[in-house]
Amino acid sequence: MTERLVKIYPAFERFWHWSQVLLILVLLFTGMGLHGLHGLVPFGPAVMLHTTAALALVVLWIFAIFWHLTTGTWRHYMPTTQGLFKVARFYAFDIFKGAHHPYRKAYWRKHNPLQALTYLALKLFLFPAIWVTGIVYLTYNFWEQQPNATLLLEIVANLHVLVAYLIATFVIVHVYLLTAGESFVQHVKPMITGFDTIDLTPEEEAYLKADEPGRLS
């Protein structure tokens, strides 16, 4: 294996990541305002901003799903138990002892097993849940005449808030882990420049040199 600086985050992935960050923060901020946790934005504009950001995020997710499927990037999110418990132990115990991260990024798998499992859960469960409950909540006027509509609305609203809190928890943990181990800048820099240090097999290095030299630095 050869350690090389490789462009593993293409432009669209970086755009998708930072746009998603911005929209989720806007949604969390306006959502907290709508539930009375702050009064920094008037109710009407908060509803409009929350709805606009939500629709923009849905559109972004649709493009991101298409991109992941057509480029094969979805493979990076496939869960595996290989090395999973070592990574979990690192974050639970070893990180506080100054130990080195047990996972080395590879060309074919840039996310460690715990990351892949977490991101997959987000994409398959939490994001669809916040999407569906949000749309049902938003379209209440179209089904308010249905039996038990008020009770159903309360259930949908509570589920929406619950999932929002789970996503907020993920954001907090994600930012916290960016401060662990290497410096915050070293963690964030690859998602800005696209380049990160990974281990390449001789075959992967030869392929990149011949067919995609722009991805090597």
Amino acid at 54: A
pLDDT digits (tens, 9 = 90+) for 70-117: 998 888 888 888 888 998 898 888 888 878 888 888 878 888 899 999
The whole-angstrom separation of Cα 131 and Cα 127 is 6
- Evaluate whether the domain defined by 2-215 bears CATH number 1.20.950.20: yes
Full-prediction pTM beyond 0.85?
Answer: yes
pLDDT digits (tens, 9 = 90+) for 31-84: 999 999 999 999 999 999 999 999 999 999 999 999 999 998 888 888 888 888
Structure-token match 């619950």, residue found = 162
What residue segments make up the domains of the chain, in order of their start?
2-215
